[in-house]
Structure 1
C-alpha cells in the first residue's frame, strides 16, 4: 500500500505534504486529494500509537464543554491527590507543566467556557454528517453508526447540578430526552440501578472500530492516488518566507504546501519555525473487555467516573482518565486499575474473555481550542492540531477546512478563534510576533 512520494510538482498540480497520520491528517490528506492536489502523507507512527486509535469512538458533537469548567480550581487538589479520581500527574513533570497549567486553569470560568464552546461547535457540531461526507463511497462507511450519546447520572438532582453545561448545549441547538427511574432501566438495563437518570442526546454517531476505520480511510487515500511515506519529519524547509518541503529520516521531500497535523508532536515542528504554541501532551487511556456478556445500548458517559463506556465490535471500550507526564510517558498500572474498578461499579454483572490496554497522547492547548491556520511567518505551512478530547469528532471538518485553505479557498467559517496568533496576542508566546491574525484567501 505504501509508495515513495513524488519529489516535485508536475502537471501544474500543487504537491501537498501532510505531516502526521492520525484522523486529522488522514482527513486533510483525503480532502486535499479531492481538491485536485497531489498529496503525500508522512507518518512515523504505528497505527496503535495515534490518539485517534484509542479514543472512545464517539462522534460526540455535544462535547463542546472543556475540562476547565467553573469550579475546577477548588476541586483540583483533591482530584489530583485522590486514588479514585481519573486525573493523574507525574510529579517530577510538574515544573515543566507549571506555566502551561497556570494558563490552562485560568479559563475555568463561565465566560471562557461559553467562548470555548462557541468555538468548538463549528468544528464538531455536525460530526456525523462530516464523517459520512469524508467516508462516502469508501469501505470506512461501514464503521459509522448513527446513535444517541447518553450521559448517566445518579439521579435527576445530580443532573441538575450540571445545568450550566446543559444550558450551553441547549443554546447551541442540541436536544436530548430525559429518562428516570423505570424509564431509565427500559432505555438501557445493563447499568447499575444506583445510576437512575439518563440524558440521551440525539443526532450523534459512533465509530464501531476506530483503528479499522482509520485503516480503511488510508487504503482509500492510496487507491485514490495518494502517497504514504513511513518516515519522521525532522524539519520544515523554507526560503524567502515560503515553505519548500520537509526534511525526513529518509531524506528531503519537495512540496508546495505543508500541513502539520501531528497531534501532540506538532509543536515540536512549529518551534523549529520560530513559533511556540502552548500545547501539552495529555496522556489518555482505555481498557477493552473482549467478548463481553452484554454491551451498553449506546456510548455512555458517566460524569461521576469521568469515563465513557463505548460498545464496539466484539468488545466494550472504557475510555477516559487524564494524566500529565509529557510525550515520553508510557502510562502506569494504577490508572488501568481505576478503569477496571469503575467498570465493576457501573456494570457489576459484566463478564468477558480477556482485556487489552492502550495508552496514547492527546494535544491539549492552554485554551482548549484547536489551532487551524496558515502560519504567518512561513507561508504555505498550515496547522491543524490541538483538539484535546475531540480529535476524532472534529477531524473530518478540520481536514476539510485545511484542504480548502491549502487550495486557496475561503472556508464558510470564521477562523479567527483557531488562529495561531491568538497566543501571541494574549502574551502566551514570549518573544514571538505574528503579523496576520486575519485569515485570507491563499494565493
Structure 2
C-alpha cells in the first residue's frame, strides 16, 4: 500500500504522535524554494498533535497522509486529563518541586514514584532535571512554554467548531485546592509566575472555596482560581473528530509503523514501514515517547524519558464538579467528562516496556473519596499512558544537525494536548516557508 512512485512535487514527511515543530534554521532548507508549492505531507502519528498537524497541512492546500500503528486518539491522547491548560508553562523542575521530592517518594499515595530497578538508567536524566531547577532557568523555560500554551483555548474552540463538535470543548476556569495554609503558601511562587506571564489568578479562602465548587469536601479551605482556561469532555472523541474532519478535507489515514529509513549524503530519501517503502523529501519526527531511537537514527541523541501517568474514570460518581479541580497537595486533576468523572495524574518513572502498576491508578480512588464525600466508584475503568519528557521540561522542536530535511518535534511532557494546535501552526508556517511568529530556539534539538 505504501510503495509509491517518486512524487514530482516536494514532499514533506511528518513523523508525530504527540507534538510537532521546526527550528527557524529550516528556512534555508525548505523555505523560499518551497513557498506556495503544493506538497505531499505524511504525518506519522495519529495522536492529538499528529492529527492537528495533518489538519493544518491539508487546510494549507497540501496532500496529506497520516501513518500510525494505532488508530487516531490512542495513547496519551486517549487517557489524558482533558485540561486545556494555558497556564501549564511552569516547568516540572523548580526549587519548590525539588524540595518536595523526598516526601513524595516515601508516600504510597504520593504523586511521584520511581521503579527502583529503573533508577540506574534514570540517574543521568535526574541530574539534568535537578540542574534545570534554578530560578533563572525556571523563568526562561516558563516564557518559552507560554508561547505554545497561551493560545490553546481559542484555537481548540475554533477547531472543534470547524469539525462540527463544538460541544466537546468548553471554556472554563480551573482551580487548585488546598487543605492547609502552608501548602497554599508554597504554591504562591508558581501562581505569581503565571500572573507575570498574563494569567488571571484569584485567591480564595474559607467558605469562598465551597461557594465556588460546592461538591468539594469542607476541609479544602484554600484555592487558586485560574481564569480563561478550558477542557474537553472527551479527549479521545476530540482527536477522532478532528481526524474525521481531516478526512473530509481530503486527508488519508493509514495503519503502519516506521521501521527504518534510506539516506542520501545530507537527507533522508525514504522511510521503510511494515507496509512498504515511502519516498520523502522532508521528515518531521514527533513520535512521542517512542521518538528516541528514530531521533538517534536522524542524528540527535536526546535524554528523552517517559512519565507514566494513570487515570481512573467513574461512570456514575454521584457528584460532578462544574470545572477541572487540581489537588494542590496530591497533584492529581479531576475533570468532568461525558463518560463520567476522571481522576488523572501521578508520575511514575519506569520506562516504556514495564507493565502498568494499577495500584497507582487505584490510589486515585481513595484520594477522590477524600476530595468528594460520598463519591461512587462502582464500574470504574483504569488506564496508564506514557508522557514523553525531557529533563528541562521543554520539547524538542527544530531541525537535525545531520540531515537537512529532518525536523524534530517531541517531548511535550504534560502539555501535549494543550500545545498541539500552536505546534501545528508552527509546522504549517514552516512547510510554507514562513518564519514562525514565536521564537522556537529554546526547543532546539542540539541543546543537550
Name the TM-score, length of structure 1 as normaliser: 0.90
- Residues 191-211 of structure 1: per-residue CA shift (max 9 Å, x gap): 111111222211111111000
Contact 2:2 2:278 in 1 (8 A): no
- Alpha-carbon offset, residue 142 of structure 1: 2.8
- Go from structure 1 to structure 2 and tell me whether the alpha carbon gap of 1:214 and 1:240 turns closer, same or farther (over 3 Å shift): same
Structure 2 counterpart of 1:307, from 303, 308, 332: 332
- Which sits farther off after the overlay, 391-400 or 265-274? 265-274
Distance 2:382 2:111 in 1: 16
Distance 1:172 1:322 in 2: 26
The residue matched to 1:139 in structure 2 has which SS?
coil
1:202 matched to 2:223? The reply is no
Distance 1:104 1:302 in 2: 23
Per the alignment, residue 270 of structure 1 pairs with 295
Q: Which runs of 5+ in 2 are unaligned?
A: 10-36
For residues 62-77 of structure 1, what are the structure 2 equivalents within 5 Å? 62-77=87-102
- Go from structure 1 to structure 2 and tell me whether the alpha carbon gap of 1:185 and 1:89 turns closer, same or farther (over 3 Å shift): same
- Alpha-carbon offset, residue 133 of structure 1: 3.5
The residue matched to 2:183 in structure 1 has which SS?
helix
- Which sits farther off after the overlay, 31-40 or 357-366? 31-40
The residue matched to 1:278 in structure 2 has which SS?
coil
- Which sits farther off after the overlay, 35-44 or 67-76? 67-76
Contact 1:236 1:269 in 2 (8 A): no
1:9 matched to 2:7? The reply is yes
Contact 1:287 1:358 in 2 (8 A): yes
- Which sits farther off after the overlay, 215-224 or 349-358? 349-358
The residue matched to 1:354 in structure 2 has which SS?
coil
- Go from structure 1 to structure 2 and tell me whether the alpha carbon gap of 1:400 and 1:277 turns closer, same or farther (over 3 Å shift): same
Q: Report which structure shows greater RCO (CA 8 Å, sep ≥6).
A: 2
- Which sits farther off after the overlay, 74-83 or 161-170? 74-83
Per the alignment, residue 192 of structure 1 pairs with 217
The residue matched to 2:162 in structure 1 has which SS?
coil
Contact 2:191 2:201 in 1 (8 A): no
Per the alignment, residue 402 of structure 1 pairs with 427
Structure 1 counterpart of 2:376, from 337, 348, 351: 351
Name the TM-score, length of structure 2 as normaliser: 0.89
Distance 2:428 2:420 in 1: 12
How many equivalent pairs are there?
421
- Which sits farther off after the overlay, 284-293 or 40-49? 40-49
Per the alignment, residue 319 of structure 2 pairs with 294
Structure 1 counterpart of 2:417, from 386, 392, 397: 392
Per the alignment, residue 25 of structure 1 pairs with 50
Per the alignment, residue 28 of structure 2 pairs with none
Distance 2:184 2:219 in 1: 14
Distance 1:405 1:294 in 2: 46
Per the alignment, residue 344 of structure 2 pairs with 319
Per the alignment, residue 41 of structure 1 pairs with 66
- Residues 287-330 of structure 1: per-residue CA shift (max 9 Å, x gap): 10112212111001111111001100130000001111111123
Contact 2:307 2:347 in 1 (8 A): yes
- Alpha-carbon offset, residue 184 of structure 1: 1.5
Distance 2:105 2:378 in 1: 33
Distance 1:132 1:254 in 2: 36
1:159 matched to 2:184? The reply is yes
The residue matched to 2:296 in structure 1 has which SS?
helix
- Alpha-carbon offset, residue 352 of structure 1: 4.5
Distance 1:46 1:356 in 2: 20
Q: Which runs of 5+ in 1 are unaligned?
A: 424-443
Per the alignment, residue 19 of structure 2 pairs with none
Distance 1:77 1:343 in 2: 23
